[in-house]
Amino acid sequence: MYPSRFKYESPKTIEAAVALLDAGKGDAKILAGGQSLVPMLKLRFAFPDQIVDINNIPGLDYHRFDADGSLHIGALCRHEDLEHSAEIAQRQPTIAAAAPLVADPIVRTRGTFVGSVCHADPQGDWAATMIALGGHLVVQGPKGKRTIDMKDFVLGPYANALNYNEIAIEAVIPAPKGVARGGYLKLERRVGDFATASVAVALDMDGNRVLRAGIALAGVGGKTIDANEEASALVGHDLTESIIDTVAAAVAAKAEPRTDHRGSSDYKRQIVKTFVKRILVAQIAEKVA
Amino acid sequence: MSLDEIKIGGLGASRRRVEDNRFIRGKGNYVDDIVLPGMLHMEILRSPVAHARIKSIDTSAAWDMPGVRLVLTGEMMAARNLAWMPTLSYDTAAVLATDKVRFQGQEVCAVIADDPYIAKDACAKIVVDYEILPPIVNPVQAAAEDAIQIRDDKAGQVGNKVFDWEIGDKARTDKAFEDADLVSKVEMHYPRTHPSPIECCGSIADFDRATGKLTFYVTSQAPHIVRAAVALVAELPEQQIRVVSPDIGGGFGNKVPVYPGYVISILASILTEKPVKWIEDKTGNLISTGFGRDVYLKGEMALRKDGKILGVRMNTISDHGAFFADAQPSKFKIGLMHSAFACYDIPTAHMFATGYYTNKAPGGVAYRCSFRVTEAMFFQERMVHAAADDLGMDQAEFRRVNFVKDDDFPHRTAFGFLTDSGQYEKCLNVGMEAIGYKDFAKEQEEARKRGKLLGIGISTMTEPLGAGNSREYDILGIKMFDSAELRVHMTGKAILRTGAKTQGQGHETTWAQIVAHELGIPAEDIVVEEGDTDTAPFGMGTYASRSTPVAGAAVSMAARKVRAKARKIAAHLLEVSEEDIEWELGRFYVRSNSDRGVTIQECAMAAYSNMPDGMEPGLENTAYYDPPNLTWPFAAYFCKVEIDPETGVWDVLQFVAVDDCGVRINPMIVEGQIMGGLTEAYAMANMQYQTYDEEGNCIGANYMDFLLPTAWETPGFELYEVVTPCPHHPIGAKGVGECATVAGPAAFVNAVVNALSHKGVRNIDMPLMPNRVYEALTTGKDVYGMPPVRSGN
C-alpha cells in the first residue's frame, strides 16, 4: 500500500484528539478501526494531511447497558465485541442479528461500530441499525459535548452531521418500552460484499402488540433510507400477516434503489419487501414462543 | 524384504507438503521479498480510458521530483524498438502506448524512483492529453460495418476481426442434421473472468554492465519461455540471461504470458544500471493481465428419437481484447475448443470460430484449463443438458447412451482427438449412487408442490491434459516436451530439477514421491528445485495440467536411467553378471540368492568410491520427455440445489465429484486440487465475472467488484475416486489440476436450470447471481449476457 504522504499523531486523550482535528481545519481524519479509511488511503481516494489515530485513548472500547436499560457503545468498540456479547444477544436482537453480517470476520476484529456509523456509507449496516433503533450519538468538540439524533446524522453518501473538529465518542440506543425485538437481513453476493439490499427492523413489544417500530434500509439509495415513518403504522397494533404485508410494501416503496450489476431497482425493492416481511413475521408472538 | 512404499513416501502416499514448512511460517520467498542493493522501484501509469488517441504526454513535472531516476514513454521505447512486443499468438502487443490506448488500464508511462511512494506520486504528475475515441466493448460492436478500427497499427488488418477458423467435417455434419429427428439449439455466453492469483505479477531486473549478465526475477509459470522471449525481444545473448521464478503465489494461467512490466523493468535496469523492481497492484493485475473465457456460442445438436447424438455444430465468437495474446499452441486459434464432446461417441461434428478485437484487456489465457477446454466442456455439458430436456429424456440416461464405452478405446473423437482410456459409465454410476439420483425426481416433484424449487445438475467430461505431444503442440515454435535432471549424491540422497515450475501444485512433494517409487530412496531424502534457468533443464513450464503428464513422466524416466546405471554398479559390487540381478524397491539382489543384495544407497556410494573399471563416476541423469499423447482424465459431477423463490438465492444442498485421473501420486494433494478447482467453478457459476460498461470501464477492477468466494459461502464437496491408469504415462498418471474448474461450472448451472425447467427456462448465462435467477423464475424466460452491457442476443 502506497498512500499519499500524511502526518500521523496518536493522542492519549479525547481533548488532544479534538485539538488536532481543530488544527487540521478539515484536512485531518480520525483513524479508529481503519477498515474503510485504510482502503481509501490505499486507493488514494482519500488523501488527508493528518491522521489522528484514537486507538491509544483509554476507556473508549466499551459497550454496556445502563440501569435504565439504554445501551452505550464507545468509539473503540469493535464489531466483534458486539457479535460475541452475551448481553447483546439477550437484550438487543437487531444489533445481535446485524453484527455477524458486518463485512467479514477479519474486518470485524478491527472495525468499530461508531466509525462505521460516522462513515455514512449508504451500504453500511450500523447507520441503518441505529436509525431503526432511534439512537443518537454523543460527540465532543472544542466547546464540549453535544448529542445528534440519528435521524439528523446521515446527510448523504459518506456525509454526516459532525463538524470537522468533532469526534463521535459514543453511540446510545434508548431503553426499549417493552421487550426489544427485531432483526437484520442482508443480501450480499459474498461475505464482505457491499449489500445488494439490507433491512434493519427494531420493535418494542408488549406480547404481540407493537409499542414502537423502526425500519431502515441500506444499499438501496444514495444514503441510508429512514423508513421509520412507514414502520410506525405498526404501532398500537398486533402483529398480523396482513398489517405486515402493508408495511412491507410501504417500506419497499420508500427505497430508492438504482439498477446496477447487483440487480434492477425492481429486484432490490422485491428483496426489501421480502426481508421486511421475513423479519416481522418471525416476531409474531406465537412464532417467537 | 522389500520396502514399504507408503512409508518411504512413494506412490500413493498422502505425504504432507514439504513446501508448507516455509509457507505456513511466512518464510516463502516471493519476488516482492527479494531486496537487492541499490534497487529502484517502478510504477506504471495506466490509461484511464478504453480508446483514445494520445495527443501529447508531458512528463516534465515527474522528472522534476526528487528521487525520480527515469520516466519512460512509448516514444522512448520505440527509439529502442521496444514499443511493441510479440504475443504468444503471433500478434503484437504494445509495451508502452505510442499512438493510441486500446483498453482501460493499458500501460502508458513508467516511472523509476528511489522508492515506490515517489514512483506513485510522480505518476500522478504526468499529464497525458487524450483524444477520446468510441470504445468497442463486445464482438457485436466490433463486427459492425461502421465500427472504428482498433488495430490501425497493423498493416493489412481488415476491420476488427482477429481470425476465422474451422475444424471438423462440414458436409458430413450438414447431412447428419438433415437426417435428424430433432435438432436441439442453444445460445449462451461464457463470461469474461480472471485467474486472479493472490500474488500479482512482478519482476526485478538486475543488469550488470560489468559482466553483461541480466538476472531476472519474475512471477512466471514458465521461466524458460521468459528467457527465450527476452533473448528474442531484447536481443540479449541467451547465455547472459538468468531467469529465476522464486516462490509463486498462484498462477492459474495468469503468469504464463510476458507482460509489458517485465520488458520495461529490463530496459529500466539497463538504462539506470541498477536493479529495478516492479510489483503490480491488484487493480493493475485485474484490468490489464491475461483474462479467461469471453466466448459466445451458438450450438446445435442433431438427435435421433432414441437419444443418440448424430452430429454437433458449434459456432463460437470470442472477444480477445485489444491484442491477440491468447497463450495457446500455435496450430489452434481458439485453443482446444474442439476437445468438446470427446467423451461422447459422435459420428460427426463441425466448428466455426471467429475472434474479434475489442477495447478490453488482452489475454485469453487458460484460466486453470488447457487452452479454452473450460469453455469447450461447459458448452458441451450445457448443450447435452438442453438436448436431453428437448428429447424428454433423463439426463443421466442420455449421457449413458452416448458415452464412449470402456471397450472402444482408443477412440477417435468427432473433432479428431484420440482418447485412450476411461470408465465413464462406472464414474456416472458412482456419482448417481452418492447423490441419490434415482429418488430425486420424486423429491423434486414433492418440493414443487410445497413451493420449493429443487434442481439437479450433471456434468460429465473427459479433457485433454498435458500438452504436448510435440507433433501437434508448440508455443511460438518451441515443442511442448519437458525435462527432469536427477543427481544422486554419494550418501544416497538426491537433488531433482525439472523444467516445470510449481505455483502451489506441490511439486517439491510429489516429484520426490515419483523418485521414491522408481528408486526406493525415501522421499524425504530428495530435494526438488525448479524455476532457475541457469540450473534447471529446459522445459515449457507449468500450466494446462501438464506437469505430471510431461515433467512428471520425465522424472520417472530420469530415475529409470539412474536405476539402469545403478544396476551395473550392483552387479559389480555383488560380483555377478547384470543379467543375474533382480530389482525390488530400493534394492538389487542376486536372483539365485535374494539375501545377497545391495541397496540403492550402497550403489550411490560406490558410484563415487568403487565404480567398475571403465565406468564414468557419479550417479545422475537427465530425461527429456515428449509424451506420445495427451492424458484423458474423466470427471462426473452432480449438484443438487434449492432456489429461494422470493429472492433468487440458490444454495447447494449436495455436490458429488467423481474423478478418474489415473494413478494418484499423492491422494491428499489431488483432493486439494479438486476442492480448489470446484471452488473456482462455484465462483464462476455464482458470482465471478468481469464486465465493461458502455464507456469501456472495467467492472471488476478490485476484489469488491471481482468476487472470490470465501470458505463461508463455498459449499462442501464430496469426492469419489475411480482409477483408470493412463496407458502411456510411465506411472499411469493423468493430469488433474484443472478437471474441477473445467467440469464444475456446468454442474451448478444445469442444477439451477433444472430447478426452473417447469417454468420454461432453458438457459441463464453465468454468473447465476440471485437477481438473474429471480428474473428467470418470475418471467419464465432465459437470461442472457452480462449486465450492465447485455450483448450478443
Nearest Cα residue in chain A from B775: A267
Task: Give the C-alpha distances (Å, rounded to integers) separating B565 from B2, B556, B570, B589.
Answer: 20, 14, 9, 15
d(CA B370, CA B677): 13
Q: At what angle do helices B739-755 and B373-391 cross, to 10 degrees?
A: 30
Residues of chain B in contact with residue A270, where contact means CB-CB under 8 angstroms, are: 646-647, 774
Residue A72 Cα, gap to closest chain B Cα (Å) = 31
Nearest Cα residue in chain A from B687: A189
pLDDT in the model for residue A126: 98
Chains A, B: CB contacts under 8 A, how many?
60
Residue B120 Cα, gap to closest chain A Cα (Å) = 7
Residue B626 Cα, gap to closest chain A Cα (Å) = 44
Question: Would you place residue B472 in the very low, low, confident or very high pLDDT band (cuts 50, 70, 90)?
Answer: confident
Residues of chain A in contact with residue B787, where contact means CB-CB under 8 angstroms, are: 260-261
Candidates A104, A259, A261; nearest CB to B710: A104
Nearest Cα residue in chain A from B768: A189
Contact at 8 Å (CB) between B501 and B221?
A: yes
Domain A179-282 matching CATH 3.30.390.50: the answer reads yes
**Residues of B forming the active site:** 221, 368-369, 738
Nearest Cα residue in chain B from A101: B712
| CATH code of the region B47-133 | 3.90.1170.50
pLDDT in the model for residue B88: 87
Interchain CB distance below 8 Å, B769 and A189: yes
Task: Look up the CATH architecture of domain B292-411+418-467+629-779.
Answer: 2-Layer Sandwich (3.30)
Biggest distance spanned by C-alpha atoms of chain A: 59
DSSP conformation class of B629: S
pLDDT in the model for residue A289: 57
Interchain CB distance below 8 Å, B704 and A194: yes
Once rounded to an integer, what is the mean pLDDT over residues B754-758? 96
Interchain CB distance below 8 Å, B646 and A264: no
Q: What is the pLDDT of residues B686-724, one digit of tens each?
A: 999 999 999 999 999 999 999 999 999 999 999 999 999
Q: Which fold has domain A7-53?
A: 3.30.43
Residues of chain B in contact with residue A190, where contact means CB-CB under 8 angstroms, are: 687, 707-710, 712-713
A50-53 and A7-9 strand pairing: parallel
Q: Which residues of B touch A (CB under 8 A)?
A: 116-117, 120-121, 646-649, 686-687, 691, 699, 702, 704-705, 707-710, 712-713, 769-771, 774-775, 787-788
Nearest Cα residue in chain A from B771: A263
Candidates A5, A104, A267; nearest CB to B771: A267
Nearest Cα residue in chain A from B699: A261
Residues of chain B in contact with residue A4, where contact means CB-CB under 8 angstroms, are: 121
Candidates B649, B686, B691; nearest CB to A261: B691
- Answer yes or no: is pLDDT of B569 > 70: yes
- Answer yes or no: is pLDDT of B451 > 70: yes
pLDDT in the model for residue A148: 98
Interchain CB distance below 8 Å, A261 and B646: no
Residues of chain A in contact with residue B121, where contact means CB-CB under 8 angstroms, are: 4-5
Residue B687 Cα, gap to closest chain A Cα (Å) = 7
- Answer yes or no: is pLDDT of B2 > 80: no
- Answer yes or no: is pLDDT of B266 > 90: yes
Q: Where in chain B is the domain with CATH 3.30.365.10?
A: 20-27+482-625, 201-279, 292-411+418-467+629-779
Residue B518: name the closest of B558, B578, B551, B482 by CA.
Answer: B558
**Burial per residue of B157-184, b for 16 or more beta-carbon CB atoms within 10 angstroms, e otherwise:** eebbebeebebbbeeebebbbeebeebb
Q: Where in chain B is the domain with CATH 3.90.1170.50?
A: 47-133
Residue of A261, A262, A268 best to disrupt the B interface, most CBs of B under 10 A? A261
Residues of chain A in contact with residue B707, where contact means CB-CB under 8 angstroms, are: 189-190, 193
Once rounded to an integer, what is the mean pLDDT over residues B654-661? 98
**Segments in chain A below pLDDT 70:** 286-289
Residue A130 Cα, gap to closest chain B Cα (Å) = 25
- Answer yes or no: is pLDDT of B514 > 80: yes
| CATH code of the region A63-173 | 3.30.465.10
d(CA B371, CA B528): 28
Residue of B45, B65, B123, B647 best to disrupt the A interface, most CBs of A under 10 A? B647
Under CATH, to which class is B20-27+482-625 assigned?
Answer: alpha beta
Q: What is the pLDDT of residues B392-440, one digit of tens each?
A: 999 999 999 999 999 999 999 999 999 999 999 999 999 999 999 999 9
pLDDT in the model for residue B599: 98
Q: What is the pLDDT of residues B217-226, one digit of tens each?
A: 999 999 999 9
How many residues in total does chain B contain?
793
Q: What is the pLDDT of residues A46-59, one digit of tens each?
A: 999 999 999 999 99
Q: Which residues of A touch B (CB under 8 A)?
A: 2, 4-5, 43, 104, 187, 189-194, 196, 259-264, 267, 270-271, 274
pLDDT in the model for residue B475: 81
Residues of chain A in contact with residue B120, where contact means CB-CB under 8 angstroms, are: 2
Q: What is the pLDDT of residues B595-608, one digit of tens each?
A: 999 999 999 999 99
Residue A105 Cα, gap to closest chain B Cα (Å) = 10
Interchain CB distance below 8 Å, A192 and B691: no
Residue A182: name the closest of A68, A72, A69, A284 by CA.
Answer: A284
pLDDT in the model for residue B786: 65
pLDDT in the model for residue B550: 95
10 Å CB burial of residue B210 (0-12, 13-18, 19+) is exposed
Q: What is the pLDDT of residues A237-267, one digit of tens each?
A: 999 999 999 999 999 999 999 998 889 999 9
Domain ranges in chain A are 7-53, 63-173, 179-282
Question: Would you place residue B787 in the very low, low, confident or very high pLDDT band (cuts 50, 70, 90)?
Answer: low
Question: Would you place residue B759 in the very low, low, confident or very high pLDDT band (cuts 50, 70, 90)?
Answer: very high
Nearest Cα residue in chain A from B702: A43
Question: Would you place residue B789 in the very low, low, confident or very high pLDDT band (cuts 50, 70, 90)?
Answer: very low
pLDDT in the model for residue B473: 87
Residue A35 Cα, gap to closest chain B Cα (Å) = 13
Residues of chain B in contact with residue A263, where contact means CB-CB under 8 angstroms, are: 769-771, 774
Interchain CB distance below 8 Å, B699 and A261: yes
Residue B655 Cα, gap to closest chain A Cα (Å) = 19
pLDDT in the model for residue B790: 41
Q: Which fold has domain B201-279?
A: Aldehyde Oxidoreductase; domain 4 (3.30.365)
In angstroms and rounded to an integer, the radius of gyration of the C-alpha atoms of chain B is: 27
Q: Percent of chain B at pLDDT above 90?
A: 92
Mean pLDDT, rounded, of chain B: 95
Interchain CB distance below 8 Å, A190 and B710: yes
